[in-house]
């Protein structure tokens, strides 16, 4: 198969590329920069931006399957920026897939497309899309996912959306590094009582889910046009897991706490100040972040297991062992 991975130099995308190469696929990557690891793997690269329709069209030439992982994440920033990449970029991918005769599109979505601020406990794919979003990332990802699923069956294209939750692991450049830096600076606070359960996705498992879904994706497949939660089958206590990561990094566990209501009030004030004063960066606390850090959000993966045989190949214990050197490196910086 000739395969395209958008964002193949990124965190999840690179693991997908590595697994595809190991499986003997012919891989092309659409990415904005140059990556030494991609050169080591010997894959073809097209440098460009998914916001540019002509570049996307070129990248999709002679491709059978597209794994679309490219996106911008975050809890702060202008609407146009998030929309242009997450939504319009995905629309470019869909149109190029149809015009170039691509037969399979596997889209990396997010559980946040259905997150409405309330607790999600063993939630299933029956949850509707949220109607109110506290930041632009989930809103633009929802619009993109909806378009991907609507395109299933058009011009011979089969589509599926996967929603991995809290992706973590070696080479993470977002979640774990920020956690370690906040802990080192003394700015990390437990929000709430610390009893909230969460799902998470070790990156190699999230990547494997994409290949597993692709293997069952074909015209008239029950997988086509569907969205699936992807995470480890058993949830963990969020703050217990965070403290475990900190201890493995050689740091002290979190001892200071803040109430849920106080965190949300602080987040609301900081959002206002950053918006009105046009402050650089992003607020250290927002209403969305306060909600994520204090509420339970874990998801049932039974449907993915039933429909395309989702099975995480790496256990939690092995994942933690593989992560330890990375944690210690980050703590030493």
Whether 298 is catalytic: no
Neighbours of 122 (CB within 10 A): 12
> What is the DSSP pairing of strand 297-299 with strand 104-108?
unpaired
> Residues with Cβ < 8 Å from 70, sequence gap 6 or more?
6, 7, 10, 13, 30, 31, 50, 85, 89
* Contact between residue 293 and residue 192 where contact means Cβ atoms under 8 Å apart: yes
* Candidate list 15, 137, 228, 299, residue with the active-site label: 137
* Contact between residue 50 and residue 93 where contact means Cβ atoms under 8 Å apart: yes
Two structure tokens written together for 257: 């706490």
- CA distances (Å), 101 to each of 50, 85, 282, in order? 18, 23, 41
Cα(23)–Cα(123) distance, integer angstroms: 33
Catalytic sites, residue numbers: 137
């Amino acid at each position: 198969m000739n395969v395209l991975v958008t964002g193949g130099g990124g965190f999840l995308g690179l693991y997908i590329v590595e697994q595809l190469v190991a499986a003997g696929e012919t891989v092309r990557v659409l990415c904005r920069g140059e990556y030494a690891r991609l050169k080591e793997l010997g894959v073809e690269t097209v440098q460009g931006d998914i916001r540019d329709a002509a570049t996307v069209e070129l990248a999709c030439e002679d491709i059978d399957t597209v794994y679309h992982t490219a996106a911008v994440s975050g809890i702060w920033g202008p609407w146009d920026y998030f929309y242009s990449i997450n939504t319009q970029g995905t629309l470019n991918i869909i149109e190029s897939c149809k015009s170039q005769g691509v037969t399979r599109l596997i889209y990396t979505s997010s559980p946040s497309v259905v997150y409405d601020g309330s607790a999600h406990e063993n939630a299933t794919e029956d949850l509707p899309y949220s109607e109110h979003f506290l930041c632009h990332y989930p809103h633009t990802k929802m619009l993109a996912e909806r378009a991907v699923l609507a395109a299933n069956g058009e011009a011979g294209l089969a589509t599926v959306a996967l929603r991995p939750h809290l992706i973590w692991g070696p080479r993470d450049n977002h979640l774990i590094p920020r956690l370690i830096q906040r802990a080192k600076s003394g700015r990390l606070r437990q929000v709430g009582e610390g009893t909230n359960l969460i799902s998470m996705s070790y990156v190699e498992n999230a990547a494997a889910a994409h290949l597993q879904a692709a293997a069952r994706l074909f015209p008239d497949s029950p997988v086509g046009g569907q969205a699936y939660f992807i995470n480890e089958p058993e949830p963990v206590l969020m703050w217990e897991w965070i403290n475990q990561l900190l201890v493995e990094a050689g740091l002290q566990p979190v001892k200071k706490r803040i109430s849920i209501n106080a965190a949300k009030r602080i987040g609301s004030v900081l959002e206002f100040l950053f918006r009105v004063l046009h402050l650089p960066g992003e607020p250290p606390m927002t209403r969305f972040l306060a909600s994520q850090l204090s509420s339970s959000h874990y998801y049932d993966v039974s449907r993915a297991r039933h429909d395309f045989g989702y099975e995480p190949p790496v256990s939690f214990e092995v994942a933690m062992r593989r992560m330890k050197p990375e944690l210690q490196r980050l703590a030493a910086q």
